[in-house]
Structure 1
């Protein structure tokens, strides 16, 4: 049996933010979501989040996590006090308790699994995660033998000069035999500089105590301010880029591009500089993205080229070309072989196979049949000041430059719209539609003085 307790009660004063620290975003997910995801593969029987500052807001943000229990720590009086809050919820629990920090988001799932395996195979009362740092200043030092059994943890301020040369530090991640921990938790005392109850103090009360040294010290990086948040972001971005390059994606300038965990690429994708992927962005095989493009929560088919453009909550089928300087807004749905060019905006519209919208146009709340050719500057006027209305353009139709289609309106198949027309009525299939004011020319006209 396994229970997981995540410490998530802190305010995060140094973040200087209205958001609780554990809800700060990191590569598309909050800090605490990343911590919860790292232990998902262990399938714990109980998951408890210890909340405090803005507890309601934290709970609401995690409402989509089934089976997550919330325990309030009020006031926040140290890590030991936080874990004391689970004494009652786990009063009948038999098994191990894994204690994680809601502001330590870089732990790999395999590291946590290894910690649990070490704990169980050694029969330890407590097993803590450790790391070696080039500069361990400020961290508690862990003293252990060659068999990884811990003899002491000494806080930096209490270390002798010789002890400070030890660079093995306590990462603050623990796996406990719950019954043994429950016996000693009430014994914690606050006779320290901060006047708080420290979970670290339980290690000296439990035997045997073991440790597992993490190979990559970046994994135990905590976040207390914006600088540390940016440093963790850089670590995650590097992990993500390395993963996808190993899967057959080319990044021409990796450091200039950012990804989310939900980004997925097919093989032989080329990502040019300054491209960014957000949410569940799915990119098909053989695509070329960028330079300078943003893809957010969209599905892109195979062999698509997107240049200097923004695509949000849209679907683009195979063999399409987007940009430069195009924007596909939510609900844009392009079938195969479509072309969307310079300064074109498409919103909540479907384009059938082979449509072309190449220049300076707005297509909103519209349905375009196959092979429609939209002339430069064509506008679907979808809003009457109160409601939105739809425009339907039949297959094979084409609009001339600077046309305005005032919705609701339906153009049949094979319609030709003359340049400069404003249309307000439906047009039957095969027709030519013109809606211009009569041209007036005055010879030898003099401007008023």
Structure 2
């Protein structure tokens, strides 16, 4: 049995923000969400988030995550004090307590699982996650015997010259046998300049205690300011990009590309420079995205091309071309073998297979049939100042340049709209519709004016 406690009570003053530190975003998820996500494979018996600064805001942000318990630390007096708040909530509990930090978001699930396994297999009273840093200056050193049994933790300022050669430091992640820890917690002392209660003091009062080195020291990096947040994002992006390139995705100039963790890519996808993939986006095999494109929470089919365009909450089916400089938003569905070209905006619109809207058009709240051709400059006037209205366009219909379709309106199948027309009434199948003033020429007008 294991209960997880996540320390998330601090303000994080170095972030220079009114937002609690643990709610700052990293790759589309808050720091604390990432920590919670990392323990999901463990299936813990309970997950307890210790909150303090703007506790209500943290609780609200985490409402979508089920089975969380919140414990308040009204005054922040150190890590030991935070865990003391669990005493009334874990009375009679006989399992292990895994302590994680809400501002350490890059710890992998595999690392935590291995750490917990070592703790339980060796029946340790406590286990400390450690890391060997290339430059451990400023960190307390952890000293172990040949079996990784902890002997002592020495603060950097107290280390002798030989002790400073030790690169192993405390990562601040612990697993305790709760029955041992709960006896010690009430007796922790704040004998330090900060007058705080530290969990490291509890580690030295139980036995046996082991250290487990993390394989990649970057996993244990905490976030205390915006610079560290940016560095963590770089690490996260490197992981994501490595994963997809190994899976058969081509990233051209990967340094200029960003990909959220929830994005799914299929083999033979090509991502061009300056392209950004956000949210729950799926891009299927053979598609080429970019350069200069943003796709968010959208599904892109096979062999689709998207250039210099923005696609948000939309679906684009196979073998369709998008862009350059197109904007799809608000639940657009584009069928197969379509073309959405230069400076076209689609909003809450469904295009049938083979439909083309090549340039300079706006279609809002519109549904088209198959093989429709939207002429340059065609717009649907879908808003009357109060309500939005639908436009329906049948199969094989063609609109001339600079047409205005005033919704609500329906154009039948095989309709031709003359260029420059403003259409206000429904048009039946197999029709030519012309709605414009007849051209008038007044010869010699300029001479008479003079």
Provide the rounded CA distance (Å) in 1 between the counterparts of 2:351 and 2:403: 18
1:339 aligns with 2:334: no
Provide the rounded CA distance (Å) in 1 between the counterparts of 2:186 and 2:157: 25
Give, in angstroms, the shift of residue 261 of structure 1: 1.1
1:275 aligns with 2:286: no
Provide the rounded CA distance (Å) in 2 between the counterparts of 1:182 and 1:22: 27
Provide the rounded CA distance (Å) in 2 between the counterparts of 1:303 and 1:292: 18
Q: How does 1:374-385 map to 2 (within 5 A)?
A: 374-385=374-385
Q: How does 1:298-309 map to 2 (within 5 A)?
A: 298-309=298-309
1:66 aligns with 2:66: yes
Query: Residues 292-317 of structure 1, C-alpha deviation per residue, up to 9 Å, x if partnerless?
Result: 11110001111111001000000111
Provide the rounded CA distance (Å) in 2 between the counterparts of 1:301 and 1:93: 51
Query: Residues 57-99 of structure 1, C-alpha deviation per residue, up to 9 Å, x if partnerless?
Result: 1111111111100000010111110111111111121101000
2:422 is matched with: 422
Give 3-state SS (helix, strand or coil) of 1:328's partner: strand
1:295 aligns with 2:295: yes
Query: Residues 267-293 of structure 1, C-alpha deviation per residue, up to 9 Å, x if partnerless?
Result: 110111111100000001110011111
Give, in angstroms, the shift of residue 35 of structure 1: 0.4
Give, in angstroms, the shift of residue 430 of structure 1: 0.7
1:75 aligns with 2:69: no
Provide the rounded CA distance (Å) in 1 between the counterparts of 2:139 and 2:115: 20
Q: How does 1:20-59 map to 2 (within 5 A)?
A: 20-59=20-59
Q: Greater shift after overlay, 279-288 or 435-444?
A: 435-444
Q: How does 1:168-317 map to 2 (within 5 A)?
A: 168-317=168-317
1:324 aligns with 2:324: yes
Provide the rounded CA distance (Å) in 1 between the counterparts of 2:92 and 2:313: 47
Query: Residues 22-55 of structure 1, C-alpha deviation per residue, up to 9 Å, x if partnerless?
Result: 1111111110111011110000001000001111
1:363 aligns with 2:351: no
Query: Residues 181-215 of structure 1, C-alpha deviation per residue, up to 9 Å, x if partnerless?
Result: 11111111111011111111111101111010011
Q: How does 1:78-227 map to 2 (within 5 A)?
A: 78-227=78-227
Provide the rounded CA distance (Å) in 1 between the counterparts of 2:191 and 2:442: 96
Give, in angstroms, the shift of residue 410 of structure 1: 0.4
Give 3-state SS (helix, strand or coil) of 1:184's partner: helix
Give 3-state SS (helix, strand or coil) of 1:232's partner: helix
Give 3-state SS (helix, strand or coil) of 2:186's partner: helix
Give 3-state SS (helix, strand or coil) of 2:446's partner: coil
Give 3-state SS (helix, strand or coil) of 1:195's partner: coil
Query: Residues 128-162 of structure 1, C-alpha deviation per residue, up to 9 Å, x if partnerless?
Result: 11001121122111011110000111122222333
Query: Residues 379-429 of structure 1, C-alpha deviation per residue, up to 9 Å, x if partnerless?
Result: 000000111000000011000000000000000011000000011111111
Give, in angstroms, the shift of residue 364 of structure 1: 0.4
For this pair of structures, how many residues does the alignment match?
A: 449
Provide the rounded CA distance (Å) in 1 between the counterparts of 2:314 and 2:178: 49
- RMSD (Å) for aligned C-alpha atoms: 1.0
1:405 aligns with 2:408: no
1:395 is matched with: 395
Provide the rounded CA distance (Å) in 2 between the counterparts of 1:122 and 1:331: 54
Provide the rounded CA distance (Å) in 1 between the counterparts of 2:186 and 2:256: 51
Give, in angstroms, the shift of residue 445 of structure 1: 2.7
Give, in angstroms, the shift of residue 370 of structure 1: 0.6
Give, in angstroms, the shift of residue 446 of structure 1: 2.9
Provide the rounded CA distance (Å) in 1 between the counterparts of 2:30 and 2:333: 30
Unaligned runs of 5+ in 2: none
Provide the rounded CA distance (Å) in 2 between the counterparts of 1:211 and 1:305: 51
Give 3-state SS (helix, strand or coil) of 2:113's partner: helix
Query: Residues 214-245 of structure 1, C-alpha deviation per residue, up to 9 Å, x if partnerless?
Result: 11000000000000000000000000000011
TM-score, scaled to structure 1: 0.99
